[in-house]
């Protein structure tokens, strides 16, 4: 079966996509420098799949090496997850983001062109919609950016469009993720943020474990039903299956596309807290505090185009997202460092 290179495949979304690809009959190959992941994930993947995980350790910025990896594994398609993703850090260290995210994409695309591989799935983000004019957000909504991280996603989308004009045989799927949460139901792999989590779900799981005293709910005066921010949380296993569906379309129909990967349903911060308490049977104490700068009130996807073009839609519930996030965190209180 076709070999698929997963840059950043040792990370949170990449490791889940690795499993879905294997289940769908592809041969996934991980390429990662472990800048934001742990090699122990490879043993966990082997435990789940019953097969040793194939991993090339190195940097996507190293174009000749990436080209050599593409050729040696006879790669038929690439999923590009590798990059830095912390919004706050990108404001403090913009050059790190432009170098790794933009430089990484240029390097990968050059290596692919050299090796004659033009099939690429790219991890974009709902952040490219900036502060949306209305919800649900469809793919033709205006794009903008409010921080260097978001800017890199926008520019990479544009670079891919330019490359498709120059190389009409390239097949590209741009996947705009909404808010990925949850973990594989085995409890063996999951999200393992370093330091204080920026995102809601990993913060909640650490509060439930007693590692942090309480959650700060950023803003309770938004124009939403309970005043707290509303987002489109999507189970990471649904997201992983979306990648398989996108690759199938690229490989079988040769059609390029840009689609949202979300559920189409918004949940407030307080709804997530309540769902998590129900799933974990643990209290999640919280304090209402002022809004986080840069946050917007209400973000959820119009998921219809993904269903139409990919034949894919998210099926897992918020309760499953919370139960799976809790299973992972409670069995691995210090993430992969317990391995
Ligand atoms: P992650 O940090 O867990 O995974 C990224 C992986 O890339 C890590 O394993 C890291 O070691 C690797 N990496 C980084 N720079 C590299 C380089 N130069 N060479 C080789 N490997 C490198 O992040 P994730 O949550 O799995 O996100 C994957 C992708 O999805 C990212 O591009 C991110 O911007 C995008 N995304 C994530 C979210 C989210 O909420 N997690 C939302 C929207 C988009
Ligand atoms: C953040 C990023 C976005 C990225 C997305 C998915 C910012 C400004 N945006 O979006 O670029 O694509 O993650 O990784 O960082 N919340 C709390 N308390 C917390 C943490 C979060 O109340 O401790 C609230 C937020 O205000 C928001 C919701 O929970 O309403 C979700 O927050 P978060 O998980 O950080 O995701 P986003 O803000 O949607």
Q: Which of 40, 62, 82, 181 to mutate to test the pocket of ligand 1 (most atoms within 8 A of CB)?
A: 82
Is 254 part of a structural domain of the chain? yes
**Integer Cα distance of 179 and 185 in angstroms:** 18
Nearest CA to ligand 1 atom 13: 82
Nearest residue to 147 (alpha-carbon basis) of 133, 134, 131 = 131
Nearest CA to ligand 1 atom 41: 180
**Integer Cα distance of 128 and 120 in angstroms:** 19
**Rounded mean pLDDT, 94-123:** 98
Determine the length of the chain: 339
Burial (0-12, 13-18, 19+ Cβ within 10 Å), 129: buried
Is 203 part of a structural domain of the chain? no
Output the pLDDT for position 1. Answer: 84
Is 11 part of a structural domain of the chain? yes
Residue 278 predicted with pLDDT over 90: yes
149 is catalytic: yes
Residue 339 predicted with pLDDT over 90: no
With contact defined as beta carbons under 8 Å apart, do 102 and 95 qualify?
no
Average pLDDT value for the chain: 97
CA 199 / ligand 2 centre spacing (Å) = 5
The backbone region for 164, taken as left when phi is positive above 0, alpha when psi lies in -120 to 50, beta otherwise, is alpha
Output the pLDDT for position 54. Answer: 98
CA 12 / ligand 1 centre spacing (Å) = 7
- Where in the sequence is the domain holding 101, given as residue range(s)? 3-181+234-262+301-314
Q: How confident is the model at residue 338 (pLDDT cuts 50, 70, 90)?
A: low
Nearest residue to 12 (alpha-carbon basis) of 325, 326, 226 = 325
CATH number at residue 109: 3.40.50.720
Is 215 part of a structural domain of the chain? no
**Rounded mean pLDDT, 258-279:** 98
**Integer Cα distance of 154 and 332 in angstroms:** 35
With contact defined as beta carbons under 8 Å apart, do 215 and 284 qualify?
yes
Is 293 part of a structural domain of the chain? no
3-state SS record for 215-252 = EEEECCCCCCCCCCCEECEEEHHHHHHHHHHHHHHHHH
Phi, psi for residue 260 in degrees, rounded to 5 = -75, 140
Output the pLDDT for position 260. Answer: 98
- The domain total for the chain is 1
For residue 332 and ligand 2, the question of a CB distance below 6 A is answered with: no
From the alpha carbon of 88, which atom of ligand 2 is closest? 15
Please identify which residue in the block is written with the tokens 């921010």.
229
With contact defined as beta carbons under 8 Å apart, do 82 and 15 qualify?
no
CA 132 / ligand 2 centre spacing (Å) = 15
Is 94 part of a structural domain of the chain? yes
For residue 35 and ligand 1, the question of a CB distance below 6 A is answered with: yes
> Taking the alpha carbons of 156, 161, 167, 173 in that order, is the dihedral positive or negative?
positive
**Integer Cα distance of 82 and 86 in angstroms:** 13
Choose, from 149, 177, 233, 300, the residue flagged as catalytic.
149
Is 328 part of a structural domain of the chain? no
For residue 190 and ligand 1, the question of a CB distance below 6 A is answered with: no
Is 168 part of a structural domain of the chain? yes
Which tens digits make up the pLDDT trace of 3-34? 999 999 999 999 999 999 999 999 999 999 99
Phi, psi for residue 80 in degrees, rounded to 5 = -100, 95
**Integer Cα distance of 142 and 138 in angstroms:** 9
**Rounded mean pLDDT, 283-312:** 97
With contact defined as beta carbons under 8 Å apart, do 38 and 192 qualify?
yes
Which tens digits make up the pLDDT trace of 129-172? 999 999 999 999 999 999 999 999 999 999 999 999 999 999 99
Structure letter (DSSP) for residue 52: P
Helix (H), strand (E) at residue 270: helix 269-280
Which tens digits make up the pLDDT trace of 169-194? 999 999 999 999 999 999 999 999 98
Say which ligand is closest to the CA of 189: 1
Output the pLDDT for position 251. Answer: 97
For residue 206 and ligand 2, the question of a CB distance below 6 A is answered with: no
Nearest residue to 260 (alpha-carbon basis) of 106, 140, 160 = 140
Distances (CA, A) of 275 to 32, 217, 318, 327, 332: 34, 15, 7, 14, 21
Nearest residue to 268 (alpha-carbon basis) of 236, 291, 295, 299 = 299
Query: Which residues are bridge partners to 17 per DSSP?
Result: none
Output the pLDDT for position 23. Answer: 98
| % of the chain at pLDDT higher than 70 | 99
For residue 8 and ligand 1, the question of a CB distance below 6 A is answered with: yes
């Amino acid at each position: 079966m076709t070999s698929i290179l997963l840059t950043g495949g040792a990370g949170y979304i990449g490791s889940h996509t690795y499993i879905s690809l294997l289940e769908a009959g592809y041969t996934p190959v991980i390429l990662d420098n472990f800048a934001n992941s742990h090699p122990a994930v490879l043993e966990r993947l082997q435990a789940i799949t019953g097969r040793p995980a194939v991993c090339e350790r190195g940097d996507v910025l190293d174009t000749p090496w990436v080209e050599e990896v593409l050729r040696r594994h006879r790669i038929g398609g690439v999923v590009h997850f590798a990059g830095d993703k912390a919004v706050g850090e990108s404001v403090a260290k913009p050059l790190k983001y432009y170098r790794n995210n933009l430089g990484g994409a240029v390097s990968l695309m050059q290596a692919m062109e050299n090796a004659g591989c033009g099939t690429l799935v790219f991890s974009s983000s709902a952040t490219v919609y900036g502060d949306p004019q209305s919800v649900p957000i469809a793919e033709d909504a205006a794009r903008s950016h409010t921080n260097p991280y978001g800017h890199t996603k926008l520019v990479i989308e544009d670079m891919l469009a330019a490359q498709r004009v120059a190389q009409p045989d390239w097949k590209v799927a741009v996947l705009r993720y909404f808010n990925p949460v949850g973990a594989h139901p085995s409890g063996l792999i999951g999200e393992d943020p370093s330091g204080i989590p920026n995102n809601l779900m990993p913060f909640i799981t650490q509060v439930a474990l007693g590692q942090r005293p309480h959650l700060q709910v950023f803003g309770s005066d938004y124009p939403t039903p309970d005043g707290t921010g509303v987002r489109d949380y999507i189970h990471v296993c649904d997201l992983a299956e979306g990648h398989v569906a996108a690759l199938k379309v690229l490989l079988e129909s040769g059609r390029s596309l840009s689609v949202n990967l979300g559920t189409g349903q918004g949940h407030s911060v307080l709804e997530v807290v309540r769902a998590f308490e129900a799933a974990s049977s643990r209290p999640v104490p919280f304090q209402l505090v002022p809004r986080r700068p840069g946050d917007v009130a209400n973000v959820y996807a119009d998921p219809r185009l993904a269903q139409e073009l990919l034949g894919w839609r998210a099926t897992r519930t918020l309760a499953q997202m919370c139960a799976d996030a809790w299973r992972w965190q409670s069995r691995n209180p210090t993430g992969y460092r317990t391995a």
